[in-house]
């Protein structure tokens, strides 16, 4: 008879203390559980399902992604669905996968039934199949795919079976196994398939077991190895029966590995979707209850948590005559890539690198929950180089440096091409476009039309005069948007000289001249001419590849009577006659070269006009 719901209220209180609201993660947890026709206690069964979500035996807890049940008849499927949904943690929702049954299955052992978490898994319903395995039973095949992945390598078939029970029916179990293998082999080479269920195998030499391990397209591998699982030495892997008393449920104690989870090579090789080694466990089995009920004399499934272990063991005892088998799978990597740094403007010939960051952004609860992300970053157009490596899980990232080609002035459109060969990876190819400008160097000059690197500036003051200010233009000759702007960085003058800099030096000189502001202090200077020489240090704007240039200047300070600057003909007056001489000599050397720059130009004209009259 069915155990009273009331008898398990204390269990519900204890197990409810397990972690409840677990965030959704991308890695996959699969639970296989023989429901025993729902012949156990309903609340206990639900508590076992809830505890499977929060099981952290492998080092982490996460919601179950797929529940697979055996012995589910048309009359119990609705109750089972209610228990699955009732046990679901916050944020997890479960749909029933394609379910088929028949009068034969219902009367013999019940059908197979699966539920998948819609946040992480989807079913391709057209790929469902029933496979007759004898004794009035069908195995079921489902095709599931990981949400958020486009690759066919992120899909897998899941088979659930309930092979004929009891000693003496080994040939029947072999017939069923061969039927399932035949169906899976027909899916082609490299098929990704999982085989779960109540195999009813008594040892590792049974023909049915060997049929799954045989070579072929769908050759299966046992995560626990192919050695013996019989006897007390292997009690940790047993899954039937957690009870020592019989009734509506089978007793006899823990002594058989009936419930088994196998997977093909494509799901066992550590690439893409693959079993996480060490996560296969018979849920609640501490290995200390051979031929005993799972809760006899206490349970230590969680070694440091006896209350939690005992509550789980009692719920398993009351729920079914099998215990669940849990296996966790890693998921394929999810690649993300972006420019970590790339300059917008560089100087021609600069040695500059663009930095690309690559990371695995698969949403998992543990780094073991995702495949490694192998990547290659290759430069195209104005980027060169190729870098490969393994990108870590976010928030960490790998960095790849590509060289910018800066030999030609202009605006360049470039690409960084990021690719991964990791199996089933999402975003397997990413193209990162960028634009940057290669500039020519600035052209520092005292003149606007051509590069003049030295200049003499005459300054005349009467005896007894105080300080006077002198402004000298600084030009970036021929500037355009593909030429660097010019910065005036530093003025070198003799210590204690009569000339000093006032204000700030001009920066970012482009098409309009900057101004060097000087102050001349004639106090203490002798009558006549005193020359003060200086140097202006300039540079390109502060971007990669910047260079520098030096401009020299001399301030010729005349104290007392002296020809006025611009009095070219020496008549003591700066007037139209002097202007006529200057214009006649424009562009060449001559007496009108007032500032001694080597040519008659606009600066000489400016000096003449400033002394007019």
Query: What pLDDT was estimated at residue 430?
Result: 98
Query: What pLDDT was estimated at residue 270?
Result: 96
Q: Give me the CATH topology for the region 566-613.
A: Type 1 dockerin domain (1.10.1330)
Q: Which of 99, 177, 97 is nearest to 135 (CA)?
A: 177
Query: What pLDDT was estimated at residue 568?
Result: 82
Spatial distance between the Cα atoms of 319 and 35, rounded to a whole number of angstroms:
8
Q: Give me the CATH topology for the region 444-562.
A: Immunoglobulin-like (2.60.40)
Let me know if the fold of 5-330 is the same as that of 335-439: no
Query: What pLDDT was estimated at residue 598?
Result: 82
Query: What pLDDT was estimated at residue 455?
Result: 93
Cα distances (angstroms) measured from residue 445 to each of 217, 492, 537, 607: 78, 17, 11, 18
Query: What pLDDT was estimated at residue 304?
Result: 93
pLDDT in tens, 109-126: 889 999 999 999 999 999
- Give the CATH number of domain 335-439: 2.60.40.10
Spatial distance between the Cα atoms of 49 and 64, rounded to a whole number of angstroms:
9
- 124 DSSP β-pair partners: none
Query: What pLDDT was estimated at residue 566?
Result: 85
Q: Which residue in the block uniquely carries the two structure tokens 């990876």?
A: 425
Question: Residues in the chain with pLDDT < 50?
Answer: 1-24
Q: Which residue in the block uniquely carries the two structure tokens 């599931």?
A: 144
- Give the CATH number of domain 5-330: 3.60.10.10
Domain range annotation of the chain: 5-330, 335-439, 444-562, 566-613
Spatial distance between the Cα atoms of 477 and 488, rounded to a whole number of angstroms:
14
CB neighbourhood size of 393 (10 A): 20
């Amino acid at each position: 008879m069915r155990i009273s719901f009331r008898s398990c209220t204390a269990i519900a209180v204890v197990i409810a203390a397990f972690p409840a609201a677990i965030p959704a993660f991308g890695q996959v947890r699969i639970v296989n559980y023989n429901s025993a026709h729902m012949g156990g206690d309903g609340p206990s069964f639900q508590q076992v399902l809830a505890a499977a979500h929060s099981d952290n035996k492998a080092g982490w807890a996460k919601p179950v992604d797929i529940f697979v049940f055996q012995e589910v008849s048309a009359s119990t499927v609705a109750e089972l669905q209610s228990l699955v949904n009732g046990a679901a943690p916050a944020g997890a929702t479960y749909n029933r996968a394609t379910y088929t049954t028949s009068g034969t299955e219902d009367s013999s052992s019940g059908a197979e039934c699966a539920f998948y978490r819609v946040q992480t898994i989807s079913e391709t319903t057209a790929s469902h199949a029933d496979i007759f395995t004898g004794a009035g039973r069908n195995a079921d095949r489902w095709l599931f795919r990981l949400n958020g992945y486009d690759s066919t390598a992120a899909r897998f078939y899941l088979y659930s079976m309930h092979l004929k029970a009891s000693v003496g029916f080994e040939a029947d179990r072999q017939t069923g196994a061969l039927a399932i293998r035949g169906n899976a082999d027909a899916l082609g080479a490299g098929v990704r398939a999982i085989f779960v269920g109540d195999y009813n195998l008594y040892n590792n030499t049974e023909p049915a077991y060997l049929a799954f391990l045989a070579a072929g397209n769908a050759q299966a591998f046992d995560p626990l190895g192919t050695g013996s699982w019989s006897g007390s030495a292997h009690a940790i892997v047993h899954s039937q029966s957690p009870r020592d008393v019989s009734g509506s449920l089978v007793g006899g104690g823990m002594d058989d590995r009936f419930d088994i989870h196998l997977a093909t090579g494509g799901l066992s090789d550590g690439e893409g979707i693959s079993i996480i080694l060490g996560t296969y466990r018979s849920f609640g089995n501490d290995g200390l209850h051979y031929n005993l009920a799972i809760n006899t004399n206490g349970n230590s499934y969680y070694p440091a948590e006896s209350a939690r272990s005992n509550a789980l063991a009692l719920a398993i005892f009351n729920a079914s005559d099998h215990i669940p088998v849990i296996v966790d799978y890693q998921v394929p990597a999810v690649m993300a890539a972006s420019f970590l740094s790339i300059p917008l403007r560089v100087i021609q010939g600069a040695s500059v690198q663009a930095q690309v960051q690559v990371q695995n952004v698969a949403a998992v609860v543990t780094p073991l929950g995702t495949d490694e992300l192998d990547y290659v970053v290759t430069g195209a157009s104005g980027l060169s180089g190729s870098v490969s490596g393994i990108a870590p899980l976010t928030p960490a990232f790998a960095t790849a440096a590509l060289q910018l080609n800066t030999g030609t002035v202009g605006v360049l459109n470039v690409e960084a091409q990021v690719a991964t060969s990791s199996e089933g990876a999402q975003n397997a190819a990413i193209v990162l476009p960028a634009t940057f400008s290669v500039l020519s160097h600035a052209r520092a000059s005292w003149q606007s039309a051509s590069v003049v690197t030295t200049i003499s500036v005459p300054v005349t003051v009467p005896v007894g005069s105080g300080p006077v200010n002198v402004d000298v233009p600084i030009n970036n000759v021929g500037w355009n948007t593909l030429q660097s702007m010019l910065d005036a960085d530093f003025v070198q003058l003799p210590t204690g000289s009569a000339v000093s800099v006032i204000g700030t030096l001009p920066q970012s000189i482009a098409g309009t001249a900057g101004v060097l502001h000087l102050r001349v202090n004639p106090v203490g200077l002798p009558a006549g001419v005193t020359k003060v020489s200086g140097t202006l240090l300039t540079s390109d704007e502060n971007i990669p590849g910047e260079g520098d240039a030096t401009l020299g200047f001399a301030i010729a300070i005349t104290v007392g009577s002296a020809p006025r600057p611009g009095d070219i003909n020496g008549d003591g007056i700066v007037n139209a006659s002097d202007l006529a001489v200057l214009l006649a000599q424009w562009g060449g050397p001559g007496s009108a070269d007032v500032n001694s720059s080597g040519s008659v130009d606009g600066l000489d004209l400016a000096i003449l006009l400033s002394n007019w009259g």
